[in-house]
Amino acid sequence: MTDINKKLIDHIAHLARLRFPEADLERYTQKAKHILEYVERLKAVNTEGIEPTAHAVDAVGFMRDDEAQAFDNREAILANAPERDGDFFQVPKVL
Amino acid sequence: MSTEFECVIGLEVHAQLLTKTKLFCNCPTTFGAPPNSHICPVCTGQPGALPVLNRKAVEFAIRAGLATHCTIDEHSVFARKNYFYPDLPKGYQISQYDRPICREGVVEIEWNDQIKSIQLIRIHMEEDAGKLVHDYGNPDASHVDLNRACVPLIEIVSGPDIRSAQEAVVYLKTLRNILMYLEVCDGNMQEGSLRCDANVSVRPKGESKLGTRTELKNLNSFRSVERAIEFEIKRQIEVIEDGEKVIQETRLWDDAKQESRSMRGKEEAHDYRYFPDPDLMPVTVTQEWIEDILSTLPELASAKAARFVKDYGIPEYDARILTAEKALAHYYEEALKHYNQPKKIANWIITELLGRLNANNATIEDAKIKPTQIAALVKLIDDDVISGKIAKDVIVEMFDTGNDPEAIVKAKGLVQVSDTGAIEAAIADILAKNPDNVASYKSGKTQVFGFFVGQVIKAMQGKANPKVVNELLRKHLD
Amino acid sequence: MTIDTLHQQLSDKKISSVELTQDYLKRIATSNPDLNSFITVTEELALADARAADDRIKSGKNVTPLTGIPVGIKDLFTINGVRTTCGSHILENYTAPYTATVVQRLQDAGAVIVGKLNMDEFAMGSSNEHSYFGNVRNPWERDHIPGGSSGGSAAAVAALQCVAALGTDTGGSIRQPASHCGVVGIKPTYGRVSRYGMTAFASSLDQCGPMARTVRDCAEMLNVIAGFDPHDSTSLNLPATNFSADLGKSIKGMKLGIPKEYFIDGLDSDVAKAVEAGIAELKKLGAECVEISLPHTEYALPCYYIVAPAEASANLSRFDGIRFGHRASHPKDLRDLYELSRTEGFGPEVTLRITIGTFVLNSGYYDAYYKKAQQVRTLIKQDFLKAFESVDAIAAPVSPTAAFRFGEKTDDPIQMYLSDIFTIPCNLAGLPGLSVPCGFTKDKLPVGMQLIGKPLAEATILQIAHAYEQATPWHGMLPPGVTL
């Protein structure tokens, strides 16, 4: 069984762009550990040779035609920007 | 004695597909539009927006796969590649991972006068990211433009089959040519329609195990591909000779400094957490669709060149030049339709037209001279209407104005003079003015004959038919 | 008040849609401070929709059963120009720039959108205790949860704040709150209803469905929202189905499977009694009930708690404070911006699930967790397909207990998750399932019975539910203090 510890959860949190202060880290580690231990019971199922299911139903995906259509409400998209500069979304300097 | 090294190179080429719209939404793909003008809920990752696959992009990917002899997967799968970056709206890139649309192909290149096969591991489809602008006024900020986000790309991954920087360039040029012939990519490296990363490693000659590789990024021209790989090979050999180990890393090529630098430290420990994108069903490609695409696949450069040699009897060298670009090959064949003199027309296109286009940094598409006009020019020479020399002046004007050669010849009175009376008068005049030379000739120094021909033609402003001048001169002198 | 009675009154011009809408808006204004089922009341939009509906009714053109009917929308569907919060701080001030397909279809049918309904943050929860905008209270008993995540939708329908509502169901989020609030709710077959404009929780499990006070009303809603959408490539391209066509037909001779794995120790005795009585009633109506086995049932919950967080972890990456949503103030660099905005913006349950999802997709654990779960999902699906070789539909409880008290299960995530143990298998298999009221506990809390159908057999389970509903008094009952 994987050892779910604070170091691992801290690393996972960073991958997910989350940041836990020490007290929260302890709590999330305990909860995650609890859940991940619980889901380990799947190990009891023999899945040898069983195809994984990624989609609930088997259907042929729809493909669209290559016809341009401009979105007519672009300003509403830009208006949601927490920081906007002209028609750009602004972020802190990326080096 | 120092060890001899061999380098091992594989290229990952990203080609932007020439679709009208983005991979998963209806926004146009036009280059150079004002910032964030081609955006919608899908390509900006609004809550609830969903991707819908562009059929044309799939068709183009299949086309590229078939032309490079790949196996087409009838059920390829889109996956999410998870990472955070401001130019990536959804926090994941929709790409293909363990089920790419094409795999196991081959590109044949001409290397050291032989055909060499470069294996392709895979071709997969993916969406492009947006653009981060760092120089938009505010020095403390970067700016996000999502016009390019979600534009369709194919990534073509070669095997580690390339052995030198020059060979890598030949491979890239060949691949670019194929994509352009297929009309799936415009091949424009400056605008980023074609981008290249290189995986480079070195090993002692004779060793079969691969050395530690580095990945070179930001190779935006053939020259930078060549220089960056050369730089990297030298660097790796030096590292090894110093008794150190090459570190697996990504290195960024700086074209201005002509050197690469490590991206270690700036780069995250990547774990992309790929998994099948639940928003997209597997891409179903029927055998019927594949055959349909196969039947409309254009003749590629190598096949076309072979056909030109066989059918038109032109030298292989010429055939290769004429097929280097699809538009040029088409131009040549259009000219032939008008006047079937393959060798002569090939010469005029290669020496006169292409030379001028190159000097002007222009392509065949920019040429004002139409294929029918260049054919007409060659015909004027063959019909003795103008001399080859005059024709060289005519083509200059055609190049500048796009006027018909007949019109230029007529307007400028350049029609060749074959009238024996006028030519004889000129000959008599020249002979009279050069008694010494006449004497020399008569004494056996027949090489001065050429001098008389030149003088006569010059006296007639180049319009005299050289054949007639020759005949009459001999008659007068002998 | 049901859709067909109101439709009749509107058509007969006994009441106008504007009057009707004003009635409902008044009711919302009175009861919402108590129930907290609405996050946003779209009064202006509603009145505009109502006026347009009245025009349609007056002209007699394009009048549908939904024309002029006030409906509520779970606050994870986008409506152009309307705030869409998903019950989250991170979207507290987000105004959607486009309209979800299902909302558009409702509007095209002439429905009146009265507001956006409260929910567990990003639909993650079974109690509505995870909304940034506060708990929704159960109209039957204020200190009990309404269920989740579509708790606002269920409570609003039960308390007559709207005639019908849209919910979403990823692991039971329509059926469980419907059961807890004594209303009808159906989760259609995966792909039946467009997901475009429906903020994703777990894309391969999410499905939109209606909640209403009667089976017929749900069918009417489904008639409008179902169908292929070129903006959702997972939506099924099928001929239009009339989901109300079989309502009223006898269920005599139908074969119903009763899965033994759904009647377990953890099942509350009051709930068991109500569901068993419901099954007995179905037998009386002529259905043949046989015990069946769905052997992998116990693995559905662990399977779900790998698949759903995995998909969610990626789905929620777009909430990064760059293009919309909450951005931390004064981030010192990009990493700060990401980590602070997201940590501040997401509540604890969402944060936990993103963490779980990120973990199980991690390359070192992918095969042991994610791939394994997908394989188990195949087995769960096969269980159902095998069962459906011999039965027409499956009858079962919706949830092991009736609505519990606030705070009762907040400390133990597994205890909370167990509340969805009977609804999750349906989502994993992509099957249609509904909850229809089947009685009350000793504490006067509603209990629902679940009917699960074959793929695309919504009409069948609606037919069974309707027959049952017409034979029982439950659908006519109203929470204390709520009057027509």
Task: With beta carbons less than 8 A apart as the criterion, state whether B231 and B258 touch.
Answer: yes
pLDDT confidence of residue B419: 67
What does the pLDDT look like over C152-192, one tens digit per residue?
A: 999 999 999 999 999 999 999 999 999 999 999 999 999 99
**DSSP-based helix, strand, coil % in chain C, nearest 5:** 40, 15, 45
Between chain A and chain C, the number of residue pairs with CB atoms below 8 A apart is 182
Q: What is the pLDDT of residue B206?
A: 85
> Do the strands C255-259 and C393-397 form a parallel or antiparallel pair, or are they unpaired?
parallel
Contact B450, B473 (CB under 8 A): no
H helices present in C182-290, as ranges: 215-225, 269-284
Strands B194-204 vs B214-219: parallel, antiparallel or unpaired: antiparallel
Contact A85/B140, CB-based, under 8 Å? no
Q: Low-confidence residues of chain A, pLDDT below 70? A: 1
- For the beta carbon of residue B327, count every other beta carbon within 10 angstroms: 14
CA C347, C352, C355, C361 dihedral sign is negative
Which residue among B45, B49, B271 sits closest to C363, beta carbon to beta carbon?
B271
Q: Which of C202, C232, C362 sits opposite B50 (nearest CB)?
A: C232
Among B453-457, C99-103, C206-210, name the one with the lowest average pLDDT.
B453-457
* Residues in chain B closer than 8 A to C232 (CB atoms): 50, 52
DSSP string, A4-58: --HHHHHHHHHHTT----HHHHHHHHHHHHHHHHHHGGGGGS--TTPPP--SSS-
Would you call C418 helix, strand, or coil by DSSP? helix
Phi, psi of B216 (to 5 degrees): -100, 130
User: What does the alpha-carbon distance between residue B243 and residue B254 come to, in Å, rounded to a whole number?
Assistant: 26
- Cα(C412)–Cα(C10) distance, rounded to whole angstroms? 49
Helices (H), B96-253: 165-181, 222-241
Among B318, B309, B393, B327, CA closest to B187: B327
Distance CA C314, CA B277 (A): 10
Predicted confidence at residue B205, as pLDDT, reads 87
Q: What is the mean pLDDT of chain C?
A: 96
Q: Residue B455: its pLDDT value, please?
A: 81
Question: Position of tokens 């697996």?
Answer: B248
Q: What string of DSSP letters covers C35-83?
A: H--EEEE-HHHHHHHHHHHHHHHHHTSS--TTTT-EEEEETTB--TTSB
CB nearest C343 (choices: A19, A54, A77): A19
Q: Tell me how long chain A is.
A: 95
Q: What is the pLDDT of residue B151?
A: 97
Q: Answer positive or negative: Cα dihedral of C63, C68, C72, C73.
A: positive
Residue C323 to residue B45, Cβ atoms within 8 A: yes
Residue indicated by tokens 């010849």: B409
Strands B53-54 and A63-64: parallel
Q: Which residues of C touch A50 (CB under 8 A)?
A: 375, 378-379
Q: Tell me: the pLDDT tens digits for C2-13? A: 999 999 999 999
Q: Sheet containing B114-127: which strands, arranged edge to edge?
A: B71-72, B102-111, B114-127, B152-158, B5-16, B194-204, B214-219, B249-254, B259-262
Query: Minimal CA–CA distance to B47: which of C341, C348, C79, A14?
Result: C79
The DSSP H or E segment spanning A77 is helix A74-79
Specify whether the CB–CB gap between C393 and C464 falls below 8 A: yes
pLDDT, position B386: 82
Domain boundaries, chain A: 6-43
Name the one residue in this structure whose structure tokens are 């569907």. C77
The region that residue A19 occupies, defined by phi over 0 for left and psi between -120 and 50 for alpha, beta otherwise, is beta
Q: Please name the member of C204, C235, C303 whose beta carbon is closest to the beta carbon of A55.
A: C204
What DSSP character marks residue C433? E
B43, B195, B292: which is closest to A68 by C-alpha? B43
Q: Are C113 and C136 in contact (CB under 8 A)?
A: no
Smallest Cα distance from C377 to chain A, Å: 6
d(CA B306, CA C54): 75
**Parallel, antiparallel or unpaired: strands B75-76 and C446-453:** unpaired
Q: What is the pLDDT along chain B (478 residues), one digit of tens a residue?
A: 467 899 999 999 999 999 999 999 999 999 889 999 999 999 999 999 999 999 999 999 999 999 999 999 999 999 999 999 999 999 999 999 999 999 999 999 988 888 899 999 999 999 999 999 988 888 889 999 999 999 999 999 999 999 999 999 999 999 999 999 999 999 999 889 999 999 999 998 888 888 889 999 889 899 999 999 999 999 999 999 888 888 888 899 988 888 888 887 555 557 899 999 999 999 999 999 999 999 999 888 888 989 999 999 999 889 988 998 888 999 999 999 999 999 999 999 998 898 888 888 888 888 889 999 999 899 988 887 887 888 888 888 899 888 888 888 887 777 776 667 777 777 878 877 888 877 778 777 777 788 888 888 787 777 777 777 787 787 777 7
Q: Which two tokens stand for residue B159?
A: 């095997």
List helix spans (H) across B258-341: 287-295, 301-312, 316-322, 326-338
Q: What is the pLDDT of residue B383?
A: 84
CB-based contact, B280 to chain C, within 8 Å: yes
Burial-class residue B407 by CB neighbours within 10 Å (0-12, 13-18, 19+).
Answer: middle
Q: What span, in angstroms and rounded, lies between the C-alpha atoms of C38 and C32?
A: 7
- Residues above pLDDT 70, as percent of chain C: 100
List of residues 6+ apart from C298 with CB closer than 8 A:
A41, C261
Suggest the residue from B142, B273, B285 to mutate for an interface test with chain A (most A CBs closer than 10 A). Answer: B142
In angstroms, rounded to a whole number, what is the distance separating the alpha carbons of residues C38 and C29? 10
> Does the beta-carbon distance from C314 to B275 stay under 8 Å?
yes
Structural domain boundaries in chain B? 5-292, 299-411, 420-477
**Residue C324 to residue C86: CA distance in whole angstroms:** 14
Q: Rounded to 5 degrees, what are φ and ψ at C207? A: -150, 140
Q: Give C-chain residues touching B278 at CB under 8 angstroms.
A: 202-204, 234, 311
Show Cβ contacts of residue B314 under 8 Å, excluding neighbours closer than 6 positions: B308, B322, B342, B343, B346
Is the peptide bond preceding residue C149 cis, with omega within 30 degrees of 0?
yes
Say if CB C116 and CB C150 are below 8 A apart. Answer: no
Contact B52 C230 (CB under 8 A): yes
The encoded tokens of residue C89 equal 């701080």
Looking at the complex, report in whole angstroms how far the Cα of residue B35 sits from the nearest Cα belonging to chain A: 6
The four Cα atoms B424, B428, B434, B437 give a dihedral, to 10 degrees, of 60
CA C388 to CA C382: how far, in whole Å?
Answer: 10
Give dist(CA A88, CA A65) in Å, integer: 29
pLDDT tens digits for range C56-65:
999 999 999 9
Cα–Cα distance, B246 to C104 (Å, whole number): 59
Q: Angle B330-B365-B312 (CA atoms, 0-180°, nearest 5)? A: 25
pLDDT for B418 equals: 67
Q: Please, what are the domains in chain C?
A: 3-254+459-476 (3.90.1300.10)
B172 to chain A nearest CA, in Å?
Answer: 28
Compare all CA atoms of chain C with the CA of B274 and give the residue at the minimum distance: C361
* Cβ contact, residue pair A14, C338, below 8 Å: no
What b/e sequence results for B294-307 when a residue is b if at least 16 CB atoms lie within 10 Å of its CB, and e otherwise? Answer: eeeeeebbbebbee
Q: Minimal Cα distance from B85: which residue of C? A: C334
Q: Which residues of C are catalytic?
A: 74, 149, 173
Cβ proximity of C113 and C73 under 8 Å: yes
Q: Can you read off the two tokens belonging to residue B418? A: 């074959």
CB pairs under 8 A between A and B: 116
Contacts of B129 (CB under 8 A, 6+ apart): B85, B87, B88, B93, B148, B149
Phi and psi (nearest 5°) for B183?
A: 60, 40
| Contacts of B among chains (3+ CB pairs under 8 A) | A, C
Q: What is the mean pLDDT of residues C447-471?
A: 97
CATH topology (fold) of B420-477: Arc Repressor Mutant, subunit A (1.10.10)
Would the CA dihedral through C459, C167, C357, C423 be positive or negative?
negative
Residues in CB range of B38: below 8 A, 6 or more apart: A70, B22, B27, B28, B29, B30, B147
Which residues numbered 176-195 in C keep a CB inside 8 Å of some CB on A? 189-191
Structure tokens at B369: 């001279």
